[in-house]
Structure 1
């Protein structure tokens, strides 16, 4: 159920959303300025490579540091799993994690929390509620669309390697790597790098160190005899599309086999039995429940439908 909040109640909800995040922390705020209290809240997650932080800010194309200062930008760069996105005409504000979210008027700005009269609508989300349409679910997906369809400024991802040993299984965290950083151009000129076409979908959610060097790069000579190196080719996939006149058809997110379309049960019985051994609702699966296309780990039991297909799936 949604609640209207203002004053200290609204402030505490924002604080809780930041503090309690475990899987994903999504912050959409045109202006960001952190005081010591906000930094202490975020520092809880400084060494948590499992928490994905997505920060979306905007405004001030001619002087970006008015929206997000270099000092605060450098603070967020310290986190092991973070994406920072710039949206020029952003005015909306939203704070959410995997459990709860608030649509609000308040910026992530210390002055706003200390001096302004602000409103917000807060809701707690359960896993199954994400498969229904409501204002808070729509807000979450709309903000994710903003994050994925606008200019990426900074991307840092955790890197993993398979555990070794007869009794070991799974992956272990090794380090985090910066995959993209345009802050020098972004802040050096005082303007956004508007020619950038980099988007979040261009970057994997994590780095597999075991596979990173499996394909040997090829040496290529340019016409001027200078050497370049071709990057390892990306794996190509073909995917199934939703059959016509079969809107009740879905796909097992682990095996890809056809099953009944039901986001609350997106696995075949056999696949579910295997999943039930560990019961990790955030474990990355292989396919989209709606379209059957490979998801490359972007679907989970909690989110069985790819983000790009969610609106179509809910309208059918």
Structure 2
């Protein structure tokens, strides 16, 4: 179902998107000042250890909001310069809207939006999800998000984004050749060029990026490792959403 929403409809679907999140929740809002009802729902998803991403565009977060975000364990926050988009999605549905996740907007502003169900319009949902992931890649992750120590975050960033640790060897998930270990970029140059022609993040590949073992039915760019390696290293390296 694709549905036009007025202000009340936007508020309703935003709450439902948070409540219905089973695997992931992405919040894209330039301004953040979250009401208590939505905070309770997000905290419940945090307790369930769902992957939560918050992308915001104003770096003057109020101390109260900043401290609350840091108190959550499963949430990662990203600052995106020049962000103006407002988008909320989980693994089954998405909402594109004019409304920030901001208390004043919910109460005083006239808003509108478009609600999209993945089942009824998978192509539109996929386009929204892909753009949300692009914003995550484009934005800058807060080093203090998730209440991790600076050293833990630096370790994660150096292993994944800079690949400065040359002793970390991984495997190309398509041909199995040895490459730098980085789950966000699990192909050698040749295989990445081949993959890019189709660009399907869920196409089946041949080898786990970390251990190199063949596990074709479960490996893809979206999920580049076997379950055992993901479970072992999920707090050490950054993994794609999916």
Bigger mean CA offset, 33-42 vs 138-147: 33-42
SS at structure 2 position matched to 1:117: coil
Counterpart pick for 1:108 among 101, 114, 121: 101
Q: Tell me the equivalent position of 1:55.
A: 54
Greater relative contact order structure (CA < 8 Å, 6+ sep)? 2
**Separation in 1, partners of 2:225, 2:142:** 23
**CA 1:47–1:121 in structure 2 vs 1: closer, same or farther (change >3 Å)?**
same
Determine which structure has more spread, i.e. the larger CA radius of gyration: 1
Instruction: Kindly report which structure 2 residues correspond to 1:1-316, keeping only aligned pairs within 5 A, or say none.
Output: 1-49=1-49, 51-59=50-58, 64-65=59-60, 68-126=61-119, 130=122, 133-134=123-124, 136-154=125-143, 178=149, 179-180=152-153, 202=161, 233-237=167-171, 238=177, 239=188, 241=191, 252-253=204-205, 255-256=206-207, 285-288=218-221, 295-296=224-225
- TM-score, normalising length from structure 2? 0.68
CA deviations on 1:50-90 (whole Å, 9 max, x unpaired) are x001000003xxxx22xx22211221222222211111200
SS at structure 2 position matched to 1:16: helix
Deviation of the 1:104 alpha carbon: 0.5
Contact 2:159 2:165 in 1 (8 A): no
Aligned residue-pair number: 201
CA deviations on 1:234-277 (whole Å, 9 max, x unpaired) are 22333462659x97x99634x35xxxxxxxxxxxxx965xxxxx
**Separation in 1, partners of 2:94, 2:139:** 21
Deviation of the 1:288 alpha carbon: 3.3
Q: Tell me the equivalent position of 1:218.
A: none
**Separation in 2, partners of 1:252, 1:107:** 38
Unaligned runs of 5+ in 1: 158-175, 182-197, 204-229, 257-269, 273-284, 299-305, 309-316
Contact 2:52 2:76 in 1 (8 A): yes
Unaligned runs of 5+ in 2: 172-176, 178-187, 208-214, 228-238
Deviation of the 1:143 alpha carbon: 1.4
**CA 1:271–1:234 in structure 2 vs 1: closer, same or farther (change >3 Å)?**
closer
**CA 1:288–1:39 in structure 2 vs 1: closer, same or farther (change >3 Å)?**
closer
- TM-score, normalising length from structure 1? 0.53
